[in-house]
Structure 1
């Protein structure tokens, strides 16, 4: 890039004879035609406020149509927080259980869940199944992208809807059948 610029400047110098230039030969002088004035602090703030009113406002997310290209990205983060948060909460509770007198060992947990009504069991399974399957399947999609596979727009859209469909199918299967 620098060599191109040097070549262009050389061509400009060769095209305009030295006697037409208003500067010594071989020397480039930049001329600024803008005039500046010194203003007070308050006047400067007023000018700045007027300029800010004329600036365009960046569009807000509310004007954009939701697309399959950014919804899975948002839900992948959300499901990651839900799953890791649940794991941390249970891990800390399991560590604190002996001190607090809680019974979080497997037979106690099985007995507690067995006493729940069917609606509560199904709701708990769905609450865990949907984030788990979505995060896992979308993670495979991202791993494919890390390998450079599936970057065409149509492939991204198809893989996004495939992840959504497989998530619903597998989560419903494991919620009601598994």
Structure 2
């Protein structure tokens, strides 16, 4: 006999006494709650008493922060930054002729050419860091999908490796490329 059949049979036997009696096999619903109307103040008192007895779920502040938290948070943020920036620039590029903006490559190159070296490097770092972090963290997740590097130690090491490689690649791209 299958385990599901044994479970169903046991459930029927346990429920059988509830179906016997004056009701001839019909199930009767009983309402055990009070259905009298109460004033607003007494209802508020009841609610306050109930809240005192409710368990309080733990807050994130009681846990020690982990690299996986920050990695997940920054992966989502960089994804939002990259996709949001792409959509904003795409819509601006489409609306540019109507609004009289000049977002052609020549205009953008001429505008950036007037910036200081530090401003150019900062802008490059600001654009490249989300890209490199999101890309390298995506590779990390693809490795996890193969079932590798899932131990706590490997997850921490790969998390810090992604952060380090992202910063190094962004700095290289910002100052040397």
TM > 0.5: yes
Query: Which of 8, 26, 29 is equivalent to 2:17?
Result: 29
Structure 1: gaps spanning 5 or more residues: 14-26, 31-35
Q: Distance in 1 between matches of 2:159 and 2:171?
A: 18
Q: Mark the CA change 1:101 to 1:47 in structure 2 (over 3 Å): closer, same or farther.
A: closer
Query: Which of 36, 40, 43 is equivalent to 1:40?
Result: 36
Cα displacement string for residues 91-110 of structure 1 (whole angstroms, at most 9, x for unaligned residues)? 11111112222221112111
Shift of 1:49: 3.2
- After the TM superposition, which residues 92-171 of structure 1 pair with which residues of structure 2 at under 5 Å, given as runs? 92-171=91-170
How many correspondences in the alignment? 158
Aligned position for 1:55: 54
TM-score w.r.t. the length of structure 1 is 0.76
Q: Mark the CA change 1:29 to 1:123 in structure 2 (over 3 Å): closer, same or farther.
A: same
Q: Distance in 2 between matches of 1:123 and 1:167?
A: 15
Higher mean displacement: 168-177 or 94-103: 94-103
Q: Distance in 2 between matches of 1:57 and 1:66?
A: 21
SS of 1:29's partner is: helix
Q: Distance in 1 between matches of 2:53 and 2:158?
A: 42
SS of 1:103's partner is: coil
Higher mean displacement: 103-112 or 43-52: 43-52
Higher mean displacement: 60-69 or 44-53: 44-53
Q: Distance in 2 between matches of 1:122 and 1:59?
A: 43
Q: Distance in 2 between matches of 1:7 and 1:152?
A: 43
RMSD: 2.7
Shift of 1:38: 4.0
Q: Mark the CA change 1:105 to 1:3 in structure 2 (over 3 Å): closer, same or farther.
A: same
Q: Distance in 2 between matches of 1:102 and 1:120?
A: 22
Structure 2: gaps spanning 5 or more residues: 19-31
